[in-house]
Amino acid sequence: MVKRLLLASAIMLSAQAQAQTVATFENLSLPNSDTLYVDFATNGYTVSSGLVGLKGSMMDYQGYTLTEGFSYSNIFDTTQCNNCYDLHYMYAGREGRGYNGSDKYAVAYAYSPAIATLSGAAAGHPVAGFMLSNTSWGYAYSNATYAAANGWAKLTVKGFNNNVQSTDSVEFYLADYRSTTPAAQRGTLDSWKWLNLQSLGNVDSLTFRVTSSDDFFPSYFVMDNFVTMESGTACPDTVTTTVFNVTTTSVNMSWSYPGDVTFDGNDSFQVVINQSPTVGVSDIINMVVGQNSYTQGNLTPLTGYYAHLRAYCHYGQDFTDWKTIQFTTAPNSIKDINTLSVQLYPNPTSGMLYFEYSSPLNVWVMDVNGQIVLRQTAVNAIDTRNLAAGQYFIRLNAENGKNAIVPFVKK
């Protein structure tokens, strides 16, 4: 299958530091097995689970009960049908079960746009995405029709916030036999797949529409585990990272992302320390799980390095883009003159940098190229606000002649 944006065969739905809600549709009731939700309300109805409401309506068509928009089902029939005009194929998920073996899932007829609205704390925030599959009917039609005709069927999702449409939309091919598609990727969706909707940005409603090459593909799809995001990001691409405690042969890194104060077993990061602004295929990738710091040793003194970090995307089973910081290890001479026992705090700093020593010190601040950028005498602290963000070395001289060179980071 062609995959646009982040798609995966499974989804990690464990608890995270950010607030998210999973609509599993298991809260909805049905009178029996092999049953479709039916409601002939004059103005339609809304099916609600989690913090999403799925809009739908019912109609009778030549003796068949059909939906416009959304309904939900516990029909499981994966038979390869010849005549699919039967509820067991029209409202049955191809995989023969809900996601992760669940009992219920949502079904949409989306020849005209089907509508979902967000409620409560989810409204006006991004949607992580949902699990998606074909119906048995859609699967059977595609296999019988499209393989020899270069046909296709796709779902298009659009987002809206205060009635303004997002600039982006998300597309996923339910069936793809186009000649331009690599042969290994052609086929029809026959299992649950994750569709990432974060690129739509802040939304309070979504539309779903199925189109096809011949306009005869049955415009149904099934949905499960719809994940709203009340705060934070499920796939944090704004990881803030810094390097500190740079010595002749080692460096420390730490990182955070908005809204996440604690790091648990679900938080995974990859770290690479190399001498290139990019990560190469031969670089050693260090996996860090459940913490927000990393220490790298065995570095070469007075050498330029790059620290690379990326975070795991829980709902796409992929990693964010690499975040990179450049630094230079300290020269060997630091060990020779580091006879003055002094502590700097806070380090990293965005303002004042204090020296924990019994008397005032003379100070020289050098950048990573050895250029002196600040000089002061007889002080117990310096103001770094006029320094550019980055790594520096500070030389401290006491009245007794003792010296120290200590690295620090300006945020």
pLDDT value of position 335: 42
- What residues does CATH 2.60.40.10 cover in the chain? 240-328
Residues 287 and 294: their CA atoms lie apart, in Å, by 10
Tokens of 60: 């009778």
- Residues ≥6 apart with Cβ < 8 Å to 107: 36, 67, 70, 71, 72, 73, 91, 93, 135, 220, 221, 222, 223
Do 330 and 347 contact (CB within 8 A), yes or no?
no
pLDDT value of position 204: 96
Tokens of 339: 């006879």
How far CA 263 is from CA of 290, 294, 296, 323, in Å, comes to 5, 13, 20, 18
Shortest CA distance to 334 belongs to which of 301, 307, 367? 301
pLDDT value of position 369: 64
pLDDT value of position 215: 93
CATH architecture of 334-410: Sandwich (2.60)
DSSP code string of 261-315: ----TT-EEEEEEESSSS--TTSPPEEEES-SEEEE--PPTT-EEEEEEEEEETT
Tokens of 250: 């080692």
Residues 310 and 101: their CA atoms lie apart, in Å, by 32
pLDDT value of position 124: 92
pLDDT value of position 232: 52
Say whether 159 sits in a helix, a strand or coil: strand
- What residues does CATH 2.60.120.1350 cover in the chain? 7-229
Query: Tokens 């409204």 label which residue?
Result: 123
Report which DSSP code applies to 205: E
Residues 101 and 148: their CA atoms lie apart, in Å, by 33
- What residues does CATH 2.60.40.3080 cover in the chain? 334-410
Class of domain 7-229: mainly beta
**pLDDT tens, residue order, the chain (411 aa):** 322 222 222 233 333 334 678 899 999 999 998 888 989 998 999 999 999 999 999 887 666 677 899 999 998 877 767 666 666 778 888 887 888 889 999 999 999 999 999 999 999 988 888 999 999 999 989 988 998 899 999 999 999 999 999 888 999 999 999 999 888 889 999 888 888 888 898 999 999 999 999 999 999 999 999 988 876 555 555 577 888 778 888 888 888 755 444 444 456 788 999 999 999 989 999 988 777 889 999 998 878 899 999 887 654 456 777 888 888 887 665 444 456 788 888 888 989 999 988 889 989 888 866 677 898 989 999 999 999 888 888 888 887 777 777 888 888
Assigned fold of 240-328: Immunoglobulin-like (2.60.40)
CA max distance for the chain = 100
Shortest CA distance to 108 belongs to which of 24, 224, 222, 189? 222
